[in-house]
Chain A
Amino acid sequence: MVSLRLAIDEICVQYKKTVISVLLIFIGSLLAVFAVISYSGVNYAYDSCDRLLVRGIKGTAFVELYDSGYEDIYMFFNDDTKGFIGEVCSLPEVSAFGGCFEFGYDIDAAPELYEIQKHDPDFTDGGYWKVSTMNKNLPAAFKLDIAEGKRPEELDFAKEKQEKEIVYLYLGNAYKDIPIGTEFQDKYGRFIVAGILDGKQEMLDYNLVNGFYEAVSYAKNFDYGIIGITDEPPNTSGLWLSAAEGFSIEQALSAAEKVAEKYGIGLKYTTLQDSYELNMSDSMLLGKYLLRLAWILIPSIALMLICVQATSVLGGLRQYGVLYSLGFSKKNIVMSIVIKNVILCILSLALVLPSALVVGSLYFDDSIKMVFETVMVRNAVPVALFMNILIVCMISAVSLGVLSRYSITELISGGKND
């Protein structure tokens, strides 16, 4: 308590130096926070895809088919594309190839599913229940954690297929009370519950599912999501290709290109990593410069802080001497210096964290906000805390180093030996 009182008194007395120190720590911490967010945000995107995709962000590509010679005209599904897709699926270099798109079905078809899906925090009511629909060849690209039911490769479309489209449903964990085998239908199709996904299952946001070119998103909880698997033709403007184990994505794409040539089909493709880096080039550049700036500025700020603290201690030598003469122990005085520095850092952190959140909420749009907040909590806050602990240790060591150079009698005479 004695040291705390001395520390608070000193902060109040030297309020100008306090403000300068808090501002310096604030600037350094804010810079560190955004450099870390920027750096960790990229890794978060990669990790997010790697968690969900069997071959990860480097082993998966997004492919468009177009009419050979007309790059802006997408290839419609026909016998050629059917043959092409079938042949690519059987290539040893390819483990999965197919389309994935968000599809909304009428509420009347399965009101029970709609009622549950409504509770999804991200649900936007468009008068339908939505399904991330995949072609039957694609699930092998995703790590699907099925708690109960059949695995996708065990589904038998030939046996079930009648006059209506068959969609096998894998329901998120929020639907776990719906029995396997439950069947819903409308006039266009039959929806058969084939499995329930584990509570840990994640899925990529629909923006990413619909096209990596348009938006970048991240794997997130899929409790209220539904995966539908069909035998219908894929959307040729958005196909996913996953390289087989032991093959690189370049090898898989090269093999697919050869097959495309045979069918007179043009291919446009990008690996997910290239696509991410292309889409996020501005942010990545900003992150790169922030990181460089942090490396230059943070040590400079540390030096400035050392100077401010050293002058603060040198200016208060006589006061420390008087405190010793009044009966305060060395421990009291050392602790008061450390506590003062801790308070400075706490004040700075109390400014940095809300400021970072405000700046983040202005800078990042809603789709990225969740990532920003996650990265902020997981990476930036610990780094800011660590940095502040380091600052406390550093400036306390400097202060105590300066103080220890003087005897009590020198302190009383303001640093002079009379």
Chain B
Amino acid sequence: MIKLEELTKDYGKGESCTHALRGISLTIEKGSYVSIVGTSGSGKSTLLHILGGMDTATGGKYYFDGQLVSDYSLKQLEDFRRKNISFVFQNFALMNQYSIYENVEMPLIARHIKNRKKLVCDVLERLGISEIKDKKPLKVSGGQQQRCAIARAIVSDSPVILADEPTGALDQKTGSEIIDCFEDIHKSGKTVILITHDMKVAERSERIIRIEDGRITD
């Protein structure tokens, strides 16, 4: 379970200080499917980065399964990310020099997991991209690239999947297919938190959190 108490995040100091988050308090249950919506600059990406342990809050408390993550050192945050979090990015963030297979294998290498081949092949099969596994990302369509990014996120079996505008770079039909994938992931028991501008995408989740000017509005 994720619990935030009066979480704040400031960038800069003094007059040039920007308040990206201004006291966010929320609870996200384990295994839930949540969308965070808001305008550009509202602080939703900052919130996602803090939830994923890629950034730290300026103030407030962040609990994950009862552990106070906001007090973690950088090393502890690394371990926290490795154990609990997987990311899916808007622009896929695939490494173009590697094949689809190698991209999906990467999180397993980072976690020193053996017998990687079976795990990778299974997840590629599940997402319907096993036929393109030897291709480089730039040689496949945007939808296939995002499926690859999702495969990479789920292969390490992290309990929480964080997605930052996962359909932002895709057409409506492909975007809808990608959301189907997230629904499947959610059904398998994972917690899915995604950021989106698209209300159609958000409405398919269990819960919508609106954020404006660093505050939760709904």
Name A residues whose Cβ lies closer than 8 Å to a Cβ of B.
Answer: 2, 5, 9, 12-13, 318-319, 321-330, 332, 407-409, 412, 417-418
In whole Å, how far is A43's beta carbon from the nearest beta carbon of chain B?
Answer: 49
Do A322 and B107 have beta carbons less than 8 Å apart?
Answer: no
In whole Å, how far is B23's beta carbon from the nearest beta carbon of chain A?
Answer: 20
Sample (17) of A-B pairs whose CB atoms are under 8 Å apart = A2-B112, A5-B109, A321-B93, A322-B95, A325-B54, A325-B93, A326-B87, A326-B110, A327-B107, A329-B78, A329-B110, A330-B74, A408-B49, A409-B45, A409-B54, A409-B55, A412-B89
Main secondary structure of the interface of B (DSSP, over half): mixed
Do B89 and A327 have beta carbons less than 8 Å apart?
Answer: no
Do A327 and B82 have beta carbons less than 8 Å apart?
Answer: yes
Do A330 and B152 have beta carbons less than 8 Å apart?
Answer: no
Chain A residues with CB below 8 A from B93, complex form: 318, 321-322, 325, 412
The 10 closest A-B pairs by CB, nearest first: A327-B110, A327-B82, A13-B97, A408-B54, A328-B110, A325-B87, A322-B93, A326-B107, A409-B49, A329-B78
Do A327 and B55 have beta carbons less than 8 Å apart?
Answer: no
Separation of A328 and B107 alpha carbons in the complex (Å): 8
Chain A residues with CB below 8 A from B82, complex form: 327, 329
Name B residues whose Cβ lies closer than 8 Å to a Cβ of A.
Answer: 11, 45, 49, 52, 54-55, 74, 78, 81-82, 87, 89, 93, 95, 97-98, 106-107, 109-112, 152, 156
Separation of A409 and B11 alpha carbons in the complex (Å): 13
Chain B residues with CB below 8 A from A328, complex form: 110
Chain A residues with CB below 8 A from B45, complex form: 409, 418
Separation of A390 and B208 alpha carbons in the complex (Å): 55
Separation of A328 and B109 alpha carbons in the complex (Å): 8
Separation of A13 and B54 alpha carbons in the complex (Å): 26
Do B110 and A332 have beta carbons less than 8 Å apart?
Answer: yes
Do B74 and A2 have beta carbons less than 8 Å apart?
Answer: no
Identify which of B45, B52, B109 gathers the most chain A CB atoms within 10 Å of its CB: B109
Identify which of A5, A409, A417 gathers the most chain B CB atoms within 10 Å of its CB: A409
Do A326 and B11 have beta carbons less than 8 Å apart?
Answer: no
In whole Å, how far is A418's beta carbon from the nearest beta carbon of chain B?
Answer: 7
In whole Å, how far is A336's beta carbon from the nearest beta carbon of chain B?
Answer: 12
In whole Å, how far is B82's beta carbon from the nearest beta carbon of chain A?
Answer: 4
Chain A residues with CB below 8 A from B107, complex form: 326-327
Separation of A329 and B45 alpha carbons in the complex (Å): 22
Separation of A417 and B112 alpha carbons in the complex (Å): 31
Do B54 and A324 have beta carbons less than 8 Å apart?
Answer: yes
In whole Å, how far is A319's beta carbon from the nearest beta carbon of chain B?
Answer: 6
Chain A residues with CB below 8 A from B95, complex form: 319, 322
Chain A residues with CB below 8 A from B78, complex form: 329-330
Nearest chain A residue, comparing its CB with the CB of B82: A327
Do A408 and B156 have beta carbons less than 8 Å apart?
Answer: no
Chain A residues with CB below 8 A from B89, complex form: 325, 412
Separation of A407 and B106 alpha carbons in the complex (Å): 21
Nearest chain B residue, comparing its CB with the CB of A417: B11
**Given A326-B106, A326-B107, A326-B110, CB of A9 within 8 Å of CB of B97:** yes
In whole Å, how far is A284's beta carbon from the nearest beta carbon of chain B?
Answer: 51
The 8 Å CB contact of B55, one of A9, A12, A332, A408, is: A408
Chain A residues with CB below 8 A from B74, complex form: 330
Nearest chain B residue, comparing its CB with the CB of A410: B55
Separation of A407 and B98 alpha carbons in the complex (Å): 24
Separation of A328 and B152 alpha carbons in the complex (Å): 14
Separation of A417 and B12 alpha carbons in the complex (Å): 12
